[in-house]
Amino acid sequence: MEENCRDTLDPRIRRTRLLLQQALGKLLETKEFDRISVQDIAEAATVNRATFYDHYTDKFALLECLVGTRFGELLAARGVRFDGGCPSALRAMVLGVCDYLAGVRGLECERQLQMEPHMEAAVIAVVRRMILEGGRRHPPVDGVSPEIFAATVSWAIFGAAKEWVRTPERGPSEEMVETAMRLLGPMFGAAYAGGE
């Protein structure tokens, strides 16, 4: 996922990838993911199939990039940056995941099962990358692998948010965030000297 989603210097590549992502996003408004073909996406993006395959291995790779881009944009629009052991940034990240998942059509039901693992991978990858970048600025204490820490926290955040979205008559996302922070706090305390 990382290779085909990463910003590239060539504006033509960026533009084509944006066209493909927009085409898939538009198609998802009217069709279920499993009914959308690569040909449908290429036609909607006004490119040929060969061009599609120059950028993505299949529609699942494109979906992961689309989700990762949209989720990354949501966090950037809110100014969410994780700079190490900062609890307020972590709280904003958890809230961002909750809000993003709550806005995904069909996640609360079992309809979009084919799409879900790819959406999950994309969101977790964005959160993991943010935690790793923050960890580079403020590394965890000795003996704690930044990669293991980032993986653990990103999966925990996504899992908690996903469970919250699927809960009938769920409370507000802020309540779930407080619960998640109580659970993540000890992890941060163990990983960062002076953490929450």
Token pair listed for 158: 């996504």
User: Which CATH superfamily hosts domain 2-58?
Assistant: Homeodomain-like (1.10.10.60)
CA distance 22 to 72: 15
| Domain boundary assignment for the chain | 2-58, 63-191
Which regions of the chain does DSSP assign to beta strands (E)?
A: none
Write the CATH number of the domain with boundaries 63-191: 1.10.357
| pLDDT value of residue 108 | 45
CA distance 41 to 113: 20
Pair of tokens at residue 175: 């309540």
Q: What is the pLDDT along the chain (196 residues), one digit of tens a residue?
A: 445 565 556 889 999 999 999 999 999 888 888 889 999 999 999 999 999 999 999 998 898 888 888 887 887 887 777 666 567 778 888 988 998 888 875 554 444 566 778 788 888 988 888 888 877 777 777 777 888 888 999 999 999 999 998 898 999 988 998 999 899 888 877 777 544 4
Q: What is the pTM of this model?
A: 0.75
> Which residues make Cβ contacts (< 8 Å) with residue 109, sequence separation at least 6?
none
* C-alpha span between 28 and 22 (Å, rounded): 10
Percent of residues in the chain assigned helix, strand, coil, to nearest 5: 70, 0, 30
Q: What is the pLDDT of residue 65?
A: 87
Q: What are the tokens at 105? A: 């059509």
Q: Are 122 and 152 in contact (CB under 8 A)?
A: no
